[in-house]
Amino acid sequence: MIVPAADDADARARLLSLARARGVSLAALSAMLDRNAAYLQQFVRKGSPRKLEENDRRVLAMFFGVDEAELGARPAAGVATVQPSGGMASRTGNRMRAAEWIDIPRLALGASAGPGALADGEVESGRLRFSQRWLRKLGLDPAHLSVIEVAGDSMEPNLHDGDEILVDRSARAGRDGVHVVRIDDVLLVKRLEQGPGGTWRVISDNPAYPGSTRAHAEVEIIGRVVWKGGKV
């Protein structure tokens, strides 16, 4: 099927629509492209740059599973932009995309950034696609990654209710930073800092919520938060 190239305004609107449908922020997509956080926000809101660079457009098209023409690709003179159908070319393209992207499971866990919520168990509720190149750049092993949704406001302004977070559950996760932890059988997302005498300082970024100090043995570290995505 031939896909007509979108004009500049349509391409910006389409990108915003795709991001909202996937529930991922423009800032997070910019980071995936190794760009500054405002890159895609400026493209969508201000038309600067006027067009996406070819590699950026290709990465975004593969991430969302759409034709590049929807994001403003222009075919060369006399060449139609065509969506893959069946056949060898399509199968080869699918294999290439499979090598470049990986789906990380969303888990049905409510990591509370508020008063806390009991864990419901690790039941997969969907998947979110990430660039394998980007994960390698961060030194992350997909086998140790999960995506879960934040509930509550105690980590604002850094994490908001409804944000999705990528959690690194590898052994190296136990250092200062934002973590998903289990305390008193309650799953929480909190900032941890090493305290004196084998303790953790358990901190909420929102100053309206008091912090606490806990012995290491009282804090089960589920994983370190390494990425967030949310609605714009």
pLDDT band for position 186 (cuts 50, 70, 90): confident
pLDDT higher than threshold 50 for residue 80: no
Q: Cβ–Cβ contacts within 10 Å for residue 56, how many?
A: 21
Residues of the chain above pLDDT 90, percent: 16
Closest CA to 179 of 171, 105, 188, 170: 188
Closest CA to 34 of 132, 129, 137: 137
pLDDT higher than threshold 90 for residue 201: yes
Per-residue exposure over 140-173, b if at least 16 CB sit within 10 Å of its own CB, e if not:
beeeebbbbbbbbbbbbeebebebbbbbbeeeeb
Domain with CATH 1.10.260.40 in the chain: 8-83
Q: What is the pLDDT at residue 108?
A: 63
Beta bridge partners of residue 104, listed in sequence order: 128
When the pLDDT of each residue in the chain is averaged and rounded to a whole number, the result is 78
Tens of pLDDT, residue by residue over 94-108, are 444 445 888 888 876
pLDDT band for position 46 (cuts 50, 70, 90): confident
Q: What is the pLDDT at residue 204?
A: 93
pLDDT higher than threshold 60 for residue 66: yes
179 phi and psi angles, rounded to 5 deg: -135, 155
pLDDT higher than threshold 90 for residue 192: yes
The pLDDT of 214-227, averaged and rounded, is: 91
What superfamily in CATH does domain 101-229 come from? Umud Fragment, subunit A (2.10.109.10)
* CATH fold group of domain 8-83: 434 Repressor (Amino-terminal Domain) (1.10.260)
Residue 23: both structure tokens together: 């529930």
